[in-house]
Amino acid sequence: MAQAKKQSSRKAARPPLLALHQVSRRYGGRVALQPVDLDLAAGECVALVGHNGSGKSTMLRLAAGRDTPTSGTVKLDGVPMDENDPRVRARLAVVGDVSACYPDLTVREHLALVAVAHGVEEPLHWVDRALADRGLAEHAEALPGSLSSGQLQSLLLASALVRPRDLLILDEPEQRLDPGARQRLADLLKAELADGVAVLLATHHPDLAMHVADRVLLLEDGVLLAQGTPEAVLPTAFPGTAVGGAR
Ligand SMILES: Nc1ncnc2c1ncn2[C@@H]1O[C@H](COP(=O)(O)OP(=O)(O)OP(=O)(O)O)[C@@H](O)[C@H]1O
Q: Which of 33, 58, 70 to mutate to test the pocket of ligand 1 (most atoms within 8 A of CB)?
A: 58
Query: Given a cut of 50, is residue 161 above it in pLDDT?
Result: yes
CB atoms within 10 A of CB 24: 19
Domain residue spans of the chain: 2-91+166-237, 98-164
Ligand 1 center–CA 217 separation, angstroms: 17
Q: Which of 54, 60, 174, 225 to mutate to test the pocket of ligand 1 (most atoms within 8 A of CB)?
A: 54
Express each pLDDT in 106-133 by its tens digit: 999 999 999 999 889 999 999 999 999 8
Ligand 1 center–CA 7 separation, angstroms: 34
Q: What is the distance between the terminal CA atoms of the chain, rounded to a whole angstrom?
A: 8
Query: Given a cut of 80, is residue 78 above it in pLDDT?
Result: yes
d(CA 155, CA 13): 35
Express each pLDDT in 197-233 by its tens digit: 999 999 999 999 999 999 999 999 999 999 999 999 9
Ligand 1 atom 1, closest CA: 27
Ligand 1 atom 2, closest CA: 27
Task: Identify the CA nearest to 46 among candidates 218, 182, 165.
Answer: 218
Ligand 1 atom 29, closest CA: 53
Verify whether ligand 1 is closer than 6 Å to residue 33 (CB atom): no
User: Taking a C-beta distance cutoff of 8 angstroms, is the pair 57, 94 a contact?
Assistant: no
Query: Given a cut of 50, is residue 10 above it in pLDDT?
Result: no
Ligand 1 center–CA 83 separation, angstroms: 20
> Which ligand 1 atom minimizes the distance to the CA of 25?
12
User: For the complex shown, is ipTM > 0.95?
Assistant: yes
> Which ligand 1 atom minimizes the distance to the CA of 219?
21
Helices assigned H by DSSP within the chain: 2-12, 56-63, 86-89, 107-117, 123-133, 149-161, 179-194, 206-212, 230-237
Query: Given a cut of 50, is residue 1 above it in pLDDT?
Result: no
d(CA 238, CA 125): 41
User: Taking a C-beta distance cutoff of 8 angstroms, is the pair 154, 173 a contact?
Assistant: no
CA 150, 156, 158, 160 torsion-angle sign = negative
Residue 99's Cβ-side half-sphere holds a number of Cα atoms within 13 Å equal to: 1
Kindly indicate whether the domain formed by 2-91+166-237 is annotated with CATH number 3.40.50.300: yes
Percent of the chain with pLDDT strictly greater than 90: 68
What is the reported pTM? 0.90
